[in-house]
Amino acid sequence: MAANNPAKPHDESCIFCRIVAGSIPCHRIYEDDVVLSFLDIGPVTPGHVLVIPKAHHATVMAAPAELMAELGRRLPKLARAVTQAVNCPACHVLLNSGVEAMQSVAHLHYHIIPRRLGDSFHVPWPAGKLDTAAAQSLAASIGENLK
């Protein structure tokens, strides 16, 4: 990773860093100092867009809190613009963080995926049942990690 600007880490081997740098083209929908948003090359529904920080951070676990706040501040306006453009009443705002969580590009990004009733996109959600005893110790363990 090139570290010539520690405030804006850049990884020349990263597809999204190269899109930010302009060396790979994209269909840009929004850009400012912090964020770039563009159409996903493999849309799962029409209007599927990505919202990325210009700085390279691999996952939400690795990202600075201030950067996540800056990204979050921009999401409502982007989600409104995208859903209105494709006339959808709903959308997913997804962030896959880590290979095991289906992240294929290791540069932090949100997906905005417009949804409508009867569309072809399906997200499996095999809900289990929360065990009360396990839940207590799990909640306590997460709480410890937050200290």
Residues near Zn ion (CB under 5 A) are 11, 14, 16-17, 56, 107
Q: How far is the CB of 73 from ligand 5GP (least distance, A)?
A: 21
Check if the beta carbon of residue 52 is closer than 8 Å to that of residue 18: no
103 binds ligand 5GP (CB under 6 A): yes
What's the rounded Cα separation, in Å, for the pair 132 and 92?
29
Q: Which long-range contacts (CB under 8 A, 24 or more apart) does 25-32 make?
A: 29/78, 29/81, 29/82, 30/74, 30/78, 30/81, 32/74
**Mind telling me the catalytic residues?**
109
Residues 64-93 that bind ligand 5GP (CB under 6 A): none
Tokens for 33, please give them: 């100092």
Mark 24-53 with x for binding to ligand 5GP (rule: CB under 6 A) and - for no binding. x-x-----------xxxxx-------x---
Among 104, 120, 132, 145, binds ligand 5GP (CB under 6 A): 104
Q: Nearest-CA neighbor of 16 among 35, 3, 29, 44?
A: 35
Q: Which residues bind ligand 5GP (CB under 6 A)?
A: 15, 24, 26, 38-42, 50, 96, 102-105
